[in-house]
Structure 1
């Protein structure tokens, strides 16, 4: 089984330096593109590979690039930004790639920048990723010293500057337009769309924002071709995927596997199954802001289309497993407390609704809940749902709540009927 993204990552040693990365074929894709391909050719190649964004949205990467104005009359500077904020609870796949092989990301960024003819690139990094920041700074400098960054890269006439920007720790910065505001030194609030960042992004110029894992795929697509990338997958979505499992399993962690591997294989084979004495009760398949799935869904493919058909989202592909000894109400309350704290406060439904939801769930946990509280929670899942808020934070927060009410309604009722948490919390 091929694992192009992680084959050169070894947890027991530091990441590859420039010479070591080059010995594995590193920057060969960049040399090939600068010698033989036009930007439009690279865009088409990535589009044909069926690479979809690994940050959660699952939009075609090549299609996204193709929306950037090109040609002599296109506005400049153009920007290429890596979203390395990774604040989604339960998600740690990008950290593995950032700490394990930073040159892979840098090469992917240079290639993506060439495809849209960007002049400046940024890595927007989560504040807590101190080790990743150290490795990235060192690797970016190595790339400059070798002529892979800066003016006239490898004599091609293509120029690119790259900077590392460390965020201050807000979940909102995972939303690409809020990230752009943060980069501009403004409050991290989302922007109205249109205009979309591809047309008017950072400082009003054309901008592409891609996830770490997405960009790490690009050098391998260039080296091996679109058909090879598609052949790695078990589904119509191309490539491999870095999946993760957290919770009370025997071996929590992250693994690079074919896109479309089943949830059952991930949990039972790679994560070793549940810890002794525990049974699986529910799974958030793509981080905290996705709908619960249950044991009836274990055999679905973990790809964008299949997980959506089951009533959830693939999201980041990093599962949070809930066991049968964990209270679903307390579990969801913990998530809603996080989301309420992380609301940017820009729109009223999110700013006022999330704290209200958190307060209701806390009262249920304390045994102070009422029958009407269930109706209030269901009302919030509608009024904070898609189309009613300025961005996707509140709708994402409602996904674990609405699915918990669907699959674990008895647990909510028991909190009210028994006037305490039945799990002894």
Structure 2
């Protein structure tokens, strides 16, 4: 999470119009107003009619210090075309929570209430933080509307995954207010990686056994893609080498798709010397079959023995380059996380290593993660959080460490102490 000082650099003086739509998550918008104001932003609030059923305009007026608008037919405000005045005033429009209904109306250009009218009448950038039932979020109509809005430049913050107000769990929860502020800060804050070339590898690798079978792992690629997005938000020129995953390429990121470990190594090594930072977030397979059968292998009533060869070590290869970038590795472990990660850091001569537990709902194929960031002289703990929020914290620290090394200050004097873990927060939709 960005520090208060960093947030002020990005949001201080920014005029934010906060739209609140109906849903149980509307109560979180109260804390969001407070956090935005703490970050230095000026906030005005517009409620939909359904949002006002959950939280009163008076609450938001007290928190924002500004009158709250909720309808197009406020005679006093509209005598001077107040909705157009608000549209011109806003430097950024944030809708949190954004219901499926509001997202649909925005995608189709409807102006049926004050909030949607303001969005049509304003040229301000739009950020949308969705909150809805997991099936509503996954519905093809909602996803099509999201794609339309993204194509027009809208930024989506979330949703997060977890327990809903109803007894279900999945993607659709509103991001926590501090994560929304961190996302906005990434858009407006100082660009720590401006002008830097960042290379990221992400996802699993697959090693073919025959034309229909392969050896692989459970990596979803979400963490690596989140790191690539966070680096792009910080102004970097980002190249992403992706294993076989079904994820959308982050905005502003150049993507290269590969399948096997050798293909990934070839793509990474071709770009590594021209990069300032390499972040190896991919879960590269350690072994591959010695031979690939030309046809599908058939059962013969007995055991099948595969001879496996060791795959090339991409991280160590990048770290050994004469013109090497700042090298950050990942370590996915099921036990002895810190011990194994530190040994990997030393053995492969990395600058940093991000270690996390995998298995039993941790790490792989999950929307949240937690990380130990280890250097040769310190360790920092990042508490469990949404992977994009975590990636933003991680990229900020990597930028700081890389700059310190370039300036001849090692990995930064602050890493010589144990840092206090970021507090975990209770999360509800």
The alignment's TM-score, normalised by the length of structure 1, stands at 0.25
The structure carrying a bigger helix percent of its residues is 1
Higher relative contact order (CA 8 A, sep 6+): 1
The alignment's TM-score, normalised by the length of structure 2, stands at 0.25
The structure carrying a bigger strand percent of its residues is 2
